[in-house]
Chains A and B, each alone.
Chain A
């Protein structure tokens, strides 16, 4: 079973490294920060996040589930990964 805290940390770290240049902004990022509606990740760049999750957790997220809403916060992403990893 996936450890939720570890999963959250991994996604948070990835988002910081992948999308944020400014250290101050990276420090301010929390699991509830809106990523797409907040303008941090644009919907097109979201693809690299999807590829990362699929590779790291050996899952396949169908395009219809990889919506900007489902990817909008780290916590939502965690939920999504758990759903496909554990069938929840």
Chain B
């Protein structure tokens, strides 16, 4: 037997270490569609709990929207279930082209190519367009999928302190001898909810002759006046060379991603990006539904406006209640707790109060920066938010952290 006792023991030991390190991830079974109200079985085998979901990327509340579901049904009926092919053999339908065109128009770019996920888009784009004479200069807190993509590519790598423009400028200056420079950033950073200063970054990139890549997965559909994303918020639509983003969050939340940007970059991805070349095409049912999502958000800003109001309300009330909220304008609201155990205890207590949130700690966030990350949605009504705020107040009072600032929380609980 190839799977020997020795091999089994090796994995058992590793899993034990993961558990002992407090890093073991468990699945919670949801017995309902994705929504503001969900039914959850956790731990496995327990009775279903009715919870308010405050940790989904369902920013626009479109994951279970009736029009999106209908479009998915129509897509299934008219274009079938699977394509049994990669894109370039026989996996591209008219609706793939249509969705790409809609994304190009929405994002304000030159062209777009779909990928099975944004993780795949990020895994494929760097290797497709850069070589060893080039350099990638990335923000230190970019998403893991960008780091994986950068690792897969032969270009040289450097990084700059999170959102520190002076440091970025130093790096751009230092790398003037390289053939191509590519600055890489998230639009909205997933753990802090802060926004990259794209106006300044574009200016620096123009001054130092560098391209810029933006992963706007936590922004597409709702950041900016019409929801185009972080580039719209900072007034630089048309100036971002490469945007990678996902259909798996605000845009219906099923799956799929894309590289959108300069026409030649998109073409290079079609010719060389390995996840595009060697992974299956996006299924018609998801393409059809995502296409409907683009129609909905292009027609009206109603949903992103509601999300903006929810965000403002929740941030204000939580700050008033005495929580240490990382400031910002995005629907990612980190409630800072600093101590890892406190983040786990509070998330557990909130679960018992009917609020589904997750506590994050090192290495998902930097050491000593544990937090509960709340994510707002246009699917949340005022009652949802009030219930969540009331539960937070109750649990915060239990742990004696209301009104405490960073230093005081650390003094009380340690790091």
B-binding residues in A (CB < 8 A)? 18-19, 21, 38-40, 42, 44-45, 47-48, 51
Contacts and interface: CB of A to CB of B under 8 A. Distances in A.
B49 interface: no
B368 to A, nearest CB: 8
A45 B159 contact: yes
Contact of A39 (B140, B158, B162, B366): B366
Q: Is the interface of A mostly helix, strand, loop or mixed?
A: loop
B140 A51 contact: no
Contacts of A38: 367
B157 interface: yes
Shortest Cβ-Cβ A-B pairs, 8 listed: A39-B367, A45-B159, A48-B158, A47-B157, A45-B140, A44-B147, A39-B366, A48-B159
A40 B368 CA distance: 11
B362 interface: yes
Interface string B117-136: 00000000000000000000
Interface residues of B, number: 15
Given A45-B159, A47-B157, A47-B158, 7 more contacts: A18-B161, A19-B161, A39-B362, A39-B363, A40-B367, A44-B159, A48-B159
A83 to B, nearest CB: 24
A44 B138 CA distance: 11
B164 interface: yes
Contacts of A47: 157-159
Contact of A21 (B147, B151, B157, B164): B164
A45 B366 CA distance: 13
Interface of B: 140, 147, 151, 156-159, 161-162, 164, 362-363, 366-368
Contacts of B140: 42, 45
Nearest to A38: B367
Contacts of A21: 161-162, 164
A48 B366 CA distance: 19
26 contacts: A18-B161, A19-B161, A21-B161, A21-B162, A21-B164, A38-B367, A39-B362, A39-B363, A39-B366, A39-B367, A39-B368, A40-B367, A42-B140, A44-B147, A44-B151, A44-B157, A44-B159, A45-B140, A45-B159, A47-B157, A47-B158, A47-B159, A48-B158, A48-B159, A51-B156, A51-B158
Nearest to B175: A51
B163 to A, nearest CB: 10
A19 B140 CA distance: 9
Contacts of A19: 161
A44 B368 CA distance: 19
A18 B168 CA distance: 11
A20 to B, nearest CB: 9
Contacts of A44: 147, 151, 157, 159
A48 B136 CA distance: 11
Contacts of B151: 44
Nearest to B162: A21
Contacts of A40: 367
Nearest to A41: B140
B371 to A, nearest CB: 15
Contacts of B362: 39
A52 B339 CA distance: 34
Nearest to A48: B158
Nearest to A51: B158
